[in-house]
Homo-oligomer: A and B are copies of this chain.
Amino acid sequence: DRPLTVIAGPCQLESADHAQMIAGRMKEACDKAGAQYVFKASYDKANRTSLSGIRGPGMDEGLKILQSVGQAIDVPVLTDVHNEGQCAPAAQAVDILQIPAFLCRQTDMLLAAGQTGAAVNVKKGQFLAPWEMSNITTKIESTGNTRILLTERGTSFGYNTLVADMRALPQMAQTGYPVVMDATHSVQQPGGKGGSSGGQREFAPVMARAAVAIGVAAVFIETHENPDASPSDGPNMIYLDQMPDLIETLMQFDALAKARPVVI
């Protein structure tokens, strides 16, 4: 089992310079700690809590930025798509297409994403049991594409709250596909601030450590140099300058976890 991959970046694209700055800092930290790094950012936040939430640069401009980051920093890039039509253009620009959690059962999107041949990371819906993910992988596999990743990002737990069920990680791994822990969205408090989501940034490293100790292929972490000034998901993003330490810690847990794998 290969060392941990770190999928990280700002929640949404702000500018090419900003994206490259974060990708560069993360690449350096991951290289130093021995982690594989994937840059992540969204060109459009298509389901903001409220209409007034900033959505990002849009697909055309955003894909250009993402491609430039991949080339400039020499890292694989992941971005999320929001309908069938976005899959093909996004696959031209990035390496991994991500299916948002709310959309994880939309058959046409899964097929369109699969057909690009790009790797597809599906976030488990907040309304879905881990064992239901095999129905989703079957949809993608029907396109001949088996480059699939499955991500835990929390499950609905009462109102405005998510809970991350650690059993979901080995359960999803039973599909045979790599499992990703989304440490920052699983501590989101959806709609918790009325017109936007709250979050418990302080618990994101807790989720990451727990998941890595169980054994996962990757962690997904949103980060920003100044989360509270970022256009979205500020309350749950981790400060960029805390990432090197966190990654170093996670790599130590990862080495231990992979030397003694969980068997269920």
Query: Which A positions have Cβ atoms within 8 angstroms of B?
Result: 46-51, 55, 82-84, 102-103, 105-108, 125-132, 135, 138-139, 142, 155-161, 163-167, 169-170, 187, 190-191, 195, 200, 202-203, 205-207, 209-214, 249, 252-253, 256-257, 260, 262, 264
Taking CB atoms, residues of chain B closer than 8 Å to A51 are: 107, 135, 138-139, 142
Tell me the complex Cα distance, A105–B46, Å. Answer: 8
- The smallest beta-carbon distance between A187 and chain B, in angstroms, is 7
Choice from B47, B156, B187, B213 contacting A213 with Cβ under 8 Å: B213
Question: Which 7 pairs show the lowest CB-CB distances between chains A and B?
Answer: A158-B158, A213-B213, A210-B210, A129-B159, A156-B156, A47-B105, A132-B191
Taking CB atoms, residues of chain B closer than 8 Å to A103 are: 102-103
Taking CB atoms, residues of chain B closer than 8 Å to A46 are: 106-108
Taking CB atoms, residues of chain B closer than 8 Å to A127 are: 102, 125-127, 156, 190
- The smallest beta-carbon distance between A33 and chain B, in angstroms, is 13
> 19 extra interchain contacts, Cβ-Cβ under 8 A, other than A126-B127, A169-B206, A256-B256?
A46-B107, A47-B105, A47-B107, A50-B138, A51-B135, A102-B105, A102-B127, A128-B191, A129-B159, A129-B160, A129-B191, A131-B191, A132-B191, A157-B163, A158-B163, A159-B161, A166-B207, A206-B214, A252-B260
- The smallest beta-carbon distance between A153 and chain B, in angstroms, is 11
Choice from B50, B156, B167 contacting A200 with Cβ under 8 Å: B167
**A206/B167 contact (C-beta < 8 A), A102-B103, A195-B135 known:** yes
Taking CB atoms, residues of chain B closer than 8 Å to A105 are: 47-49, 102
- The smallest beta-carbon distance between A103 and chain B, in angstroms, is 7
- The smallest beta-carbon distance between A195 and chain B, in angstroms, is 6
| A52 nearest in chain B by CB position | B138
Q: Are A249 and B253 in contact (CB under 8 A)?
A: no
Taking CB atoms, residues of chain B closer than 8 Å to A214 are: 206, 209-210
Taking CB atoms, residues of chain B closer than 8 Å to A264 are: 202-203, 206
Q: 11 interchain pairs (CB within 8 A)?
A: A46-B108, A47-B106, A49-B132, A51-B107, A102-B102, A129-B160, A131-B191, A164-B166, A167-B206, A210-B213, A249-B260
